[in-house]
């Protein structure tokens, strides 16, 4: 489907994608970031304005508290002065004109407890005159007014309420009551501040630009003091508990199925709460407007960019169109897009690669075959072989030839990647040290190399040792290297291969992790040797005895004979299999099977899986530990059974002796009394004393049932000499007296104690 789309429109679509993706990603991310910042800014500004209102309102309350404190500090306004005569009352009136200098306060009145008048800056009133004529509160009677003044102990704000008065310009006022003295424990009067509600609303009005919003002030007890609007658009909702549950700051909640944004601050001065409420859509109106403008701007950028891309694409596409027409004429086709051109080029490249691969595979196979022929010693004409070898990049520039073989433990079981890395590292290291060629195709997991060296070969040994150390440390593996002798004749590489193989097999004696040169083992294997037959027989005897430490020492001694002797490889294998045979005999001798106490021993195949005699020695030592432990355990069980029977036989033979004692029994067995007690307890589960008492009681019951023997004679038969003591122990054991027991078993003759 995509192949049928013209190239021009493919470019157009791709360029539009290149325009849209970064523009949308960047634009939307910036847009989102900007909206978040703007939202935070609107919220923080709203919060700051609310905090300013809270600060202003707190300041007004502080001013009224200060006025109350000044009133309490003036001597002319003390209860003593005010009750002297009316002249002092007139003087007091002149001192209460605070409302003239503070437009927030409408009137200030002072009331002295127990006196009949209230004093203000304009006149003197009785409480009933003030409430009934001057300030006619809708829900505050003169009696309640007087009681509230007398009970006042702390400043208290009466919420906004309706008041009729000719002295007021507003029909709603807030009344602030402050006791005198302000912070005293005992009060003598009160100060009343009359505040018109409109003054407070003017303070709250500047925060909200929308008539749907509202600002409310709550006192410490959660009572609504004043609000910007009287008409609550959340009718039926108890606003005080809901406001108390809101967190400080800005939050959103739902009232009457509408979402509202609340901003809340709390005064640290008096604990009052200031709250604004606004419909969420109005609160976010400015942000929504900016969002809309930003989206329209992004759409305009996309439209204008798309038009510019289309125009410029037509201009730049013309050379591409000419190229497609030219290519189609050259290759005899009609190419509409680059895909057609790519397919044609790909077809040509595939044909070229196939031809090159055939040449390369042929050369690699020839090269591998020539190396195999060389290492197997099947070269007859040296010069002819050299000329052919150069054609497949086999070139010998040094005169001496030899073979090196690497035996790596667990090479086959390695992971594929690690195996490849190891072989590649060895091959590269050999090429650096010598002129070496890796030979594949031989049997077994062994790496083979044909190498050349100079006539002076003094560096051969240190180089191979250094390479061996590097490979072991780099890959943490066990590796043995076998090195054949050096020859000048290329045709003798087969002989060097056999020598390297023989040296590699010699790891059976020398162990893994060695560099073995054939020249080092030639004389060693031709001298006389001693077969350790006596040591093997001794090893078998020690296993039977369960002597683990001596068995291990004997295994190490046999290993030393092999390592330090001059034994041929086939004889070394014989020694190894004789040692294995000792283990197998001991296994079958132990209960006639290859397992004991749930432990399964290796079979003969498992015992023969070793690469060096050191590996075999470790395997045999571990096997001998388990075997000796099982043999000793079996012998220990046999001894314990014999000792238990001997102890029980002794008690059966001597329990009727009144002089029987644990010490006498210990002396009989030539052991200590404490060890005897412990051993008997471990073997039988009960103490010697319990066993003796049991035997005596059983014999007593037998005599009581079968004889008419008097009790005095009976107890002498079972090792007792005190009749009352026997009767007490018999009843404790059998739950009846000896006489009752004899009657129960049919012998009605009364027991004669004498």
- Cβ-in-10-Å burial (0-12, 13-18, 19+) of 119 comes to buried
pLDDT at 569 over 60: yes
The sheet with strand 118-120 has its strands ordered as: 124-125, 118-120, 107-112, 189-196, 172-180, 156-164, 136-137
Q: How far is CA 566 from CA 167, 555, 575, in A?
A: 135, 18, 13
Q: Quick check: 688 and 671 in contact, CB under 8 A?
A: no
Q: What is the pLDDT of residue 152?
A: 87
Question: Which carries the bigger pLDDT value, residue 158 or residue 45?
Answer: 158
Residues in a beta bridge with 448: 405, 439
83: CB partners within 8 A, 6+ apart:
112, 115
Q: What is the DSSP letter of 527?
A: S
Q: What is the pLDDT of residue 179?
A: 92
Q: Quick one: pLDDT band at residue 605, thresholds 50, 70, 90?
A: very low
Q: Quick check: 569 and 505 in contact, CB under 8 A?
A: yes
Report how far Cα 401 is from the mean position of its chain's Cα atoms. 59
pLDDT at 247 over 70: yes
Q: Quick one: pLDDT band at residue 404, thresholds 50, 70, 90?
A: very high
Q: What is the pLDDT of residue 352?
A: 63
Query: Residue 227's CB: how many other CB atoms inside 10 A?
Result: 22
Residues in a beta bridge with 251: 262
Query: Which of the residue ranges 363-372, 529-538, 599-608 has the most confident prediction, judged by mean pLDDT?
Result: 363-372
Q: Quick check: 215 and 206 in contact, CB under 8 A?
A: no
Structure tokens at 198: 């409109």
Report how far Cα 31 is from the mean position of its chain's Cα atoms. 38
Residues in a beta bridge with 156: 177
Place of tokens 């600002």: 215
Query: Residue 427's CB: how many other CB atoms inside 10 A?
Result: 15
DSSP 618-680: HHHHHHHHHHHHHHHHHHHHHHHHHHHHHHHHHHHHHTT-TT--HHHHHHHHTS-HHHHHHHH
Q: What is the pLDDT of residue 636?
A: 56
Instruction: Please name which of 144, 93, 141, 86 lies closest in space to residue 115, comparing C-alpha atoms.
Output: 86
Residue 283 has φ and ψ, to the nearest 5°, of -60, -35
Q: What is the gyration radius of the CA atoms in the chain, in angstroms?
A: 58
Extended strands (E) in 558-711: 595-596, 599-600
CA distance from start to end of the chain: 127
Averaged pLDDT score across all residues of the chain: 78
Q: Quick one: pLDDT band at residue 450, thresholds 50, 70, 90?
A: very high
Question: Which carries the bigger pLDDT value, residue 59 or residue 643?
Answer: 59
Q: Quick one: pLDDT band at residue 594, thresholds 50, 70, 90?
A: very low
pLDDT at 750 over 70: no
Q: What angle do CA 695, 699, 701 make, to 5 degrees?
A: 120
> Mean pLDDT throughout 497-517?
83
> Mean pLDDT throughout 651-671?
85
Query: Residue 232's CB: how many other CB atoms inside 10 A?
Result: 15
Whole-number Å distance between alpha carbons of 181 and 187: 6
Q: Tell me the per-residue pLDDT of 19-61, one tens digit each, with 9 for 90 and over.
A: 777 777 776 776 667 667 767 777 777 788 888 888 888 888 8
493: CB partners within 8 A, 6+ apart:
374, 375, 377, 379, 401, 402, 403, 450, 487
Q: What is the pLDDT of residue 721?
A: 78
Question: Which carries the bigger pLDDT value, residue 340 or residue 222?
Answer: 222
Count each helix (H run) and each strand (E run) in the chain, helices first: 27, 19
What's the per-residue H, E or C state across 230-262?
Answer: CCCCCCCCCHHHHHHHCCCEEEEEEECCEEEEE
pLDDT at 9 over 80: no
Beta strands 515-517 and 479-483: pairing type? parallel
361: CB partners within 8 A, 6+ apart:
none
Whole-number Å distance between alpha carbons of 504 and 274: 95
283 membership: H or E segment, kind and range: helix 280-283
Place of tokens 């509408």: 258
Structure tokens at 47: 């919060």
For the chain, the farthest-separated pair of C-alpha atoms sits apart, in whole angstroms, at 153
pLDDT at 653 over 70: yes
Place of tokens 């007690």: 677
Of 325-334, 618-627, 638-647, the least confident: 325-334
Q: Quick check: 206 and 49 in contact, CB under 8 A?
A: yes
pLDDT at 449 over 90: yes
658: CB partners within 8 A, 6+ apart:
716, 719, 720, 721
Report how far Cα 459 is from the mean position of its chain's Cα atoms. 54
Q: What percent of the chain has pLDDT over 90?
A: 4
Q: Tell me the per-residue pLDDT of 266-281, one tens digit each, with 9 for 90 and over.
A: 888 888 898 888 777 7
562: CB partners within 8 A, 6+ apart:
509, 532, 572, 575, 613
Structure tokens at 85: 């005569």
What's the per-residue H, E or C state across 728-743?
Answer: HHHHHHHCCCHHHHHH
Place of tokens 């388990």: 626
**pTM for the full model?**
0.40
Whole-number Å distance between alpha carbons of 574 and 363: 47
Q: Quick check: 624 and 552 in contact, CB under 8 A?
A: yes
Query: Residue 462's CB: how many other CB atoms inside 10 A?
Result: 9
Structure tokens at 521: 């083992």
Whole-number Å distance between alpha carbons of 731 and 556: 68
CA-CA-CA-CA torsion sign (486, 487, 490, 496): negative
pLDDT at 717 over 80: yes
Whole-number Å distance between alpha carbons of 143 and 127: 8
Whole-number Å distance between alpha carbons of 502 and 518: 7
Q: Tell me the per-residue pLDDT of 200-233, one tens digit each, with 9 for 90 and over.
A: 888 887 656 555 678 889 988 888 888 887 755 5
Query: Which of the residue ranges 209-218, 485-494, 531-540 has the most confident prediction, judged by mean pLDDT?
Result: 485-494
The sheet with strand 273-279 has its strands ordered as: 224-227, 214-218, 273-279, 258-266, 249-255
Angle between helix 338-375 and helix 382-391 axes, rounded to 10 deg: 160
pLDDT at 405 over 70: yes
Q: What is the pLDDT of residue 604?
A: 43
Q: What is the pLDDT of residue 91?
A: 65
Structure tokens at 577: 């299999």
Structure tokens at 610: 């070793």
Whole-number Å distance between alpha carbons of 187 and 151: 9
Of 419-433, 503-517, 622-636, 672-686, the least confident: 622-636
Q: Which residues of 568-597 are buried (b: 16+ CB within 10 A; e: fewer)?
A: eeeebeebbebbbebbbebbeebeeeeebe
pLDDT at 291 over 50: yes
pLDDT at 682 over 90: no
Q: What is the pLDDT of residue 458?
A: 76
Instruction: Please name which of 66, 38, 82 lies closest in space to residue 287, comparing C-alpha atoms.
Output: 38
Of 125-139, 587-601, 653-667, the least confident: 587-601
Q: How far is CA 133 from CA 141, 146, 355, 517, in A?
A: 11, 15, 122, 132
Angle between helix 662-669 and helix 613-654 axes, rounded to 10 deg: 130
pLDDT at 486 over 80: yes
Coil, helix or strand at residue 436: strand
């Amino acid at each position: 489907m995509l192949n049928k789309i013209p190239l021009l429109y493919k470019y157009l679509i791709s360029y539009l994608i290149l325009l849209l993706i970064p523009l949308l990603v960047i634009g939307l991310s910036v847009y989102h970031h900007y909206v978040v910042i703007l939202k935070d800014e609107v919220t923080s500004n709203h919060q700051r304005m609310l905090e300013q209102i809270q600060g202003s309102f707190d300041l007004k309350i502080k001013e009224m508290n200060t006025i109350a404190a000044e009133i309490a500090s003036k001597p002319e306004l003390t209860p003593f002065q005010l009750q002297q005569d009316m002249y002092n009352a007139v003087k007091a009136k002149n001192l209460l004109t605070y409302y003239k200098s503070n437009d927030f306060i409408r009137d200030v009145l002072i009331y002295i407890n127990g006196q009949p008048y209230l004093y203000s800056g304009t006149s003197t009133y009785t409480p009933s005159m003030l409430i009934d004529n001057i300030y006619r509160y809708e829900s505050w009677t003169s009696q309640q007014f007087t009681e509230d003044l007398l009970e006042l102990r702390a400043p208290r704000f009466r919420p906004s309420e309706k008041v009729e008065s000719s002295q007021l310009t507003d029909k709603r006022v807030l009344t602030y009551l402050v006791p005198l003295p302000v912070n005293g424990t005992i009060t003598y009067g009160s100060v009343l501040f009359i505040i018109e509600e409109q003054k407070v609303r003017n303070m709250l009005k500047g925060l909200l630009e929308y008539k749907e919003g509202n600002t409310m002030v709550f006192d410490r007890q959660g009572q609504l003091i004043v609000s910007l609007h009287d008409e609550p658009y959340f009718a039926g909702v108890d606003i005080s508990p809901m406001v108390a549950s809101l967190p400080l700051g800005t939050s959103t909640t739902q009232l009457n199925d509408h979402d509202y944004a609340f901003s809340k601050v709390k005064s640290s001065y008096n604990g009052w709460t200031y709250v604004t409420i606004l419909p969420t859509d109005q609160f976010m109106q400015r942000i929504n407007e900016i969002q809309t403008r930003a989206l329209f701007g992004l759409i305009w950028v996309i439209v204008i960019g798309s038009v510019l891309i289309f125009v410029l694409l037509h201009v730049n596409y013309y050379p591409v169109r000419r190229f497609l027409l030219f290519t189609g004429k050259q290759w005899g086709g009609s190419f509409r897009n680059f895909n057609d051109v790519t397919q044609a080029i790909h077809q040509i490249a595939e044909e070229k690669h196939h031809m090159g691969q055939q040449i390369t595979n042929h050369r690699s196979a020839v090269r591998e075959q020539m190396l195999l022929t060389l290492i197997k010693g099947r070269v007859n004409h040296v010069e002819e072989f050299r000329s052919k070898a150069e054609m497949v990049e086999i070139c010998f520039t040094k005169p001496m030839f030899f073979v090196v073989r690497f035996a790596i433990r667990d090479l086959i079981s390695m992971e594929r990647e690690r195996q490849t890395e190891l072989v590649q590292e060895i091959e590269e290291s050999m090429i650096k040290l010598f002129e070496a060629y890796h030979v594949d195709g031989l049997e077994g997991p062994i790496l083979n190399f044909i190498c050349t060296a100079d006539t002076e070969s003094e560096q051969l040994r240190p180089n191979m040792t250094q390479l061996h150390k590097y490979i072991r440390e780099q890959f943490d593996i066990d590796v043995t290297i076998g090195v054949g002798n050096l020859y000048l004749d290329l045709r003798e590489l087969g002989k060097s291969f056999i020598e390297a193989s023989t040296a590699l097999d010699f790891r059976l004696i020398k162990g893994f992790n060695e560099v073995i040169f054939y020249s080092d083992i030639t004389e060693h294997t031709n001298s006389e040797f001693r077969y350790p037959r006596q040591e093997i027989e001794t090893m078998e005897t020690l296993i039977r005895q369960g002597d683990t430490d001596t068995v291990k020492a004997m295994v190490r001694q046999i290993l030393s004979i092999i390592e330090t002797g001059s034994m041929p490889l086939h004889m070394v294998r014989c020694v190894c299999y004789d040692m294995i045979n000792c283990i197998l005999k001991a296994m079958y001798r132990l209960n006639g099977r290859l397992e004991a106490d749930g432990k399964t021993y290796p079979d003969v195949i498992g015992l023969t899986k070793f690469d060096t005699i050191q590996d075999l020695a470790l395997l045999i030592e571990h096997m001998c530990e388990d075997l000796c432990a099982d043999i000793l355990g079996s012998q220990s069980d046999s001894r314990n059974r014999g000792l238990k029977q001997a102890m029980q036989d002794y008690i059966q033979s001597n329990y009727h002796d009144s002089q029987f004692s644990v010490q006498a029994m210990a002396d009989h067995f030539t052991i200590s009394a404490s060890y005897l007690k412990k051993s008997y307890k471990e073997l039988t589960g009960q103490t010697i004393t319990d066993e003796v008492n049991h035997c005596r009681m059983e014999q007593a019951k037998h005599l009581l049932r079968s004889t008419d023997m008097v009790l005095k004679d009976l107890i002498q038969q079972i090792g007792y000499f005190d009749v009352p003591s026997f009767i007490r122990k018999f009843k404790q054991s059998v739950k009846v007296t000896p006489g009752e027991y004899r009657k129960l078993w049919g012998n009605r003759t009364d027991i004669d104690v004498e």
